[in-house]
Amino acid sequence: MSIKMPETLERLVLLDTELRKDYGRTIDDYIGFYISFNNDEDRYYCTPNDSIVFGRTGVNGDHFAFYTFKGSTIDLEEAPIIFIQPMSFGNEISLVARNLKDFLSLFVSLREIYILERFRFYNNKMDFINDYNENYFTGINSRESDLYFFIELLREKIKGIKEINDVYKYITELRKQLKLEIDKEWDI
């Protein structure tokens, strides 16, 4: 069965092509992942069977996927986004966004995707703010002009990308509202 790429990802692919052609850069240079739609080679032992991979980071097998709730979510534009990290034994899968546009909106708000892996460590909003300021702020600040350029292009090419004012609240509420039904049948 052929799986149709959602429109938002199609637009991201076009943006990646434009960046390569016009600037010699890629989506990975800005967001931190390579687009890789439904490629079986990007799946790992812990990738849920009912997920469709759309991007890989190139580090430790980490990848992002659409989660389909055992195939009941047919429109990938509406599918939740999970972050799979094969080397995070016991915590391989994290729910990170309600859908792809929200995932990109989180990037616009945070300017970094790897902080999404750390939400399980935060007991409250101050833990999140402190970790962001201590471990991410300086690196993000040093790339601010590149990020500004990319975010403007992203917003121009993909309508509906917006800032999420309270990322901590968004993630904690999302994880209360959506429960993943992951079958952990793998051996580590």
Q: Give the tens place of pLDDT for each residue, 142-152.
A: 999 999 999 99
Could you report the per-residue pLDDT of 34-88, keeping only the tens digit for each?
Answer: 999 988 888 888 788 889 999 998 788 889 999 987 766 789 999 999 999 888 8
Strand partners, 35: 55
Would you state the structure tokens that stand for residue 5, as one six-digit string?
Answer: 């790429």
How far is the C-alpha of 32 from the C-alpha of 148, rounded, in Å?
15
Q: What is the pLDDT of residue 2?
A: 67
pTM of this prediction? 0.91
- Listed in order, strand segments (DSSP E) in the chain are 34-35, 51-56, 63-67, 81-84, 93-97
Strand partners, 55: 35, 64
DSSP 24-67: S--HHHHTS-EE-TT-GGG--TTS-TTEEEEEE-SSTT-EEEEE
Q: Does the pLDDT of residue 128 top 60, yes or no?
A: yes
How far is the C-alpha of 42 from the C-alpha of 185, rounded, in Å?
19
> Does residue 177 contact residue 97 with C-beta atoms inside 8 Å?
no
Could you report the per-residue pLDDT of 161-177, keeping only the tens digit for each?
Answer: 999 999 999 999 999 99
